[in-house]
Amino acid sequence: MTQPIVFMLDVAPADAPEPEGGWAATVHRVPDGQPSLMATELSATRGDGVFETLGVIDGFAQAVDGHFWRLANSAQLLELPAPNLEQWRAAMQIAAAALPTDRQGGVKLVLSRGVEGSGVPTGWLIATTTSGDFPSRRDGWKVVTLDRGYRHDLSEKAPWLLPGAKTLSYAVNMAALREAARRGADNAIFISSDDYVMEAPQSTVLLRRGNTLITPKTDIGILPGTTQLSVFAVAGEWGFATEDRLVAASDLFDSDGVWLLSSVMLATPITEIDGRAIAVDRDLTDRLNDALLARRE
Amino acid sequence: MTQPIVFMLDVAPADAPEPEGGWAATVHRVPDGQPSLMATELSATRGDGVFETLGVIDGFAQAVDGHFWRLANSAQLLELPAPNLEQWRAAMQIAAAALPTDRQGGVKLVLSRGVEGSGVPTGWLIATTTSGDFPSRRDGWKVVTLDRGYRHDLSEKAPWLLPGAKTLSYAVNMAALREAARRGADNAIFISSDDYVMEAPQSTVLLRRGNTLITPKTDIGILPGTTQLSVFAVAGEWGFATEDRLVAASDLFDSDGVWLLSSVMLATPITEIDGRAIAVDRDLTDRLNDALLARRE
């Protein structure tokens, strides 16, 4: 990964019209290595904000609409001021265009509650490139299952637990990845306390069973997967049925393939879960990644 | 609240000896209003770090040992490099001394995993004063109980959920306070999914039952309370027995007083829980706050 490129935003209210100089005038590139956040930022002291990470292919930000829908939804769940999506779209284009076009990259965008006491949100973008080499898309990952502690039906009863919001409070997600590494695995799948498949710390779970592609339904308190939505959009053309449903943990072992889906890694086949081998569908893996590498609005 | 005063730390390894210029040379006051964090800080993008907030009375930081023990414990639970407590002690003294001595204040210290990819932790302190007026210590708070979603016995089985660590990932704690306000209350008490009292989003729960002061035991995945430890230390002199134990949610209503304890607010009596009046022990409330306002090593 090369040096990230950072842009700070003069965050506009949702209904603000485009300013005279255009939205580009509200997006400021930060000189490399220069601090741009206050130490009293509520993102840094409370994990209080939301984010999205978009894949960038040849300078084109992928699935912007899906990510922006989720950004707005996360902001609403946290009672943050609604984002001005036209402003974020302009900022995203600027950030994506700053990346070299010969490599795959990503842009993370952050909307935080802002400096404590200010009442004004802070927004920024971080553009990064990768080496262009994603061996995991072919070689796959070993994963372990980890208890997420919540029942699958908790979500509607306890909105203050922020189910479905992509918040900056990711300490548990990061700890789960360390636990996976400790067990010799590459990643983890969270299971509800009553044994349903939830999601991975940074990705969505996809299963194939015969002619059907399956993902856990999101009303169990997990994130709607933007990459998963792209997969379901093409699956019909390939002759697959698609299902969002409750997925029992045991279903992971009774499948014709399991993948983790995310915006930058794309589709990673799972080769092993908790030490048990999982069937890898190499043909479908390649088709998934080819489709995800194509331009997606 | 006046303008916060920020100090950045050149974070030293735990076993580093004091440098020639003294630890003070590693503590840098940030000019007011100047950014001091990188946009790629993992505190800001992942809530990945730990913190403590210490009360400051007349320029003296309270209960430093207790807070530093917890800081080190939180760092260990997150697999952060162990903090150099001598350095933090020096920094804490500098930050506390920067506050006016005629008002009560606080110092928040943050130890984050640092800038992404750097492998070097970031440390900073934020010193703030209050107006000196804490009407809640006398008037009390109305609280609501909120489901925390976790069973009380989850803690030892799922360390990746970071039970007992005071992490920067506080989005849920902040959302719980908003939910309380929405219900017309001042604060919240988290209850486990199997109906045991846990903690408040920013404080520890204390109950009185006759001659006994009771707090929920910490092996249910809650933070050890530094202010609660100070209370238990003096309670014996006052003729109280003390108990750390499982506390059923129904025990809240079968008590001779309930308080929330925290480093800056100190002891706040609870007047109402979920709309039901709670007996307020004004005499003990005053004794608690008088004791907590005295210097505590």
ipTM: 0.96
B193 to chain A nearest CA, in Å?
A: 9
Residue with tokens 């990952």: A141
CB atoms B45 and A43 under 8 Å: yes
Q: Which residues of A touch B151 (CB under 8 A)?
A: 149, 193
- Closest partner residue to A172 (CB to CB) among B8, B40, B169 is B169
Per-residue pLDDT of chain A (297 residues; tens, 9 = 90+): 578 999 999 999 999 999 999 999 999 999 999 999 999 999 999 999 999 999 999 899 999 999 999 999 999 999 999 999 999 999 999 999 999 988 899 999 999 999 999 999 999 999 999 877 899 999 999 999 999 999 999 888 999 999 999 999 999 999 999 999 999 999 999 999 999 999 999 999 999 999 999 999 999 999 999 999 999 999 999 999 999 999 999 999 999 999 999 999 999 999 999 999 999 999 999 999 999 999 998
Report the Cα B70 to chain-centroid distance in Å: 10
What are the tens digits of pLDDT across the range B278-287? 999 999 999 9
What are the tens digits of pLDDT across the range B9-25? 999 999 999 999 999 99
Of the residues B126, B174, B179, B223, the best mutation for testing chain A's interface (the one with the most A CB atoms within 10 Å of its CB) is B174
Both structure tokens of A205: 């779970």
**Coil, strand or helix at A184:** coil
- Closest partner residue to A46 (CB to CB) among B41, B168, B178 is B168
Q: Which residues of B touch A37 (CB under 8 A)?
A: 35-39, 41, 44
CB atoms A168 and B45 under 8 Å: yes
Searching chain A, which residue's CA lies closest to the CA of residue B177?
A160
Neighbour tally for A67: CB within 10 Å: 23
Report the Cα B212 to chain-centroid distance in Å: 23
Report which residue type is found at B196.
Y
Q: Given phi > 0 = left and psi -120 to 50 = alpha, else beta, which region is A119?
A: left
- Closest partner residue to B36 (CB to CB) among A39, A47, A148 is A39
Both structure tokens of B154: 């989850």
**Coil, strand or helix at A181:** helix
Q: Which residues contact A80 (CB under 8 A, 6 or more apart)?
A: A49, A50, A111, A113, A121
Searching chain A, which residue's CA lies closest to the CA of residue B127?
A40
8 A C-beta contact, residue B81 and residue B75? yes
8 A C-beta contact, residue A91 and residue A7? yes
Residues of chain B with pLDDT under 50: none
Please tell me the predicted confidence (pLDDT) of residue B203: 98
CB atoms A45 and B36 under 8 Å: no
Domains in chain A: ranges and CATH: 5-129 (3.30.470.10), 136-293 (3.20.10.10)
Q: What is the dihedral of CA A14, A16, A20, A25, to 10 degrees?
A: -30
Residue with tokens 């909120």: B146
Please tell me the predicted confidence (pLDDT) of residue B169: 98
Please tell me the predicted confidence (pLDDT) of residue B297: 87
Q: Which among A167, A259, A269 is positioned nearest to A216, based on CA atoms?
A: A259
Please tell me the predicted confidence (pLDDT) of residue B28: 98
B290 to chain A nearest CA, in Å?
A: 29
Distance CA B145, CA A72 (A): 29
Q: Which residues of B touch A193 (CB under 8 A)?
A: 151, 154, 193
First to last CA, chain A: 25
**Coil, strand or helix at B16:** coil
Of the residues A6, A156, A169, A191, the best mutation for testing chain B's interface (the one with the most B CB atoms within 10 Å of its CB) is A169
Please tell me the predicted confidence (pLDDT) of residue B63: 97
Please tell me the predicted confidence (pLDDT) of residue B201: 98
CB atoms A147 and B170 under 8 Å: no
Both structure tokens of B248: 């059923």
CB atoms A160 and B176 under 8 Å: yes
CB atoms B149 and A147 under 8 Å: no
Q: Which residues of B touch A174 (CB under 8 A)?
A: 46, 48
Searching chain B, which residue's CA lies closest to the CA of residue A2?
B117
> For the packed helices A85-97 and A64-77, what is the interaxial angle rounded to 10 degrees?
130
Q: Which residues of A touch B124 (CB under 8 A)?
A: 39
Searching chain B, which residue's CA lies closest to the CA of residue A49?
B171
Distance CA A280, CA A256 (A): 7
Both structure tokens of A242: 């698609």
Q: Which residues contact A259 (CB under 8 A, 6 or more apart)?
A: A205, A206, A207, A267, A268, A269, A270, A285, A288
Strand duo B122-129 + B141-147: pairing? unpaired
Interface contacts A/B by beta carbons within 8 Å: 187
8 A C-beta contact, residue A224 and residue A215? no
Searching chain B, which residue's CA lies closest to the CA of residue A163?
B172
Report which residue type is found at B78.
L
8 A C-beta contact, residue B205 and residue B189? yes
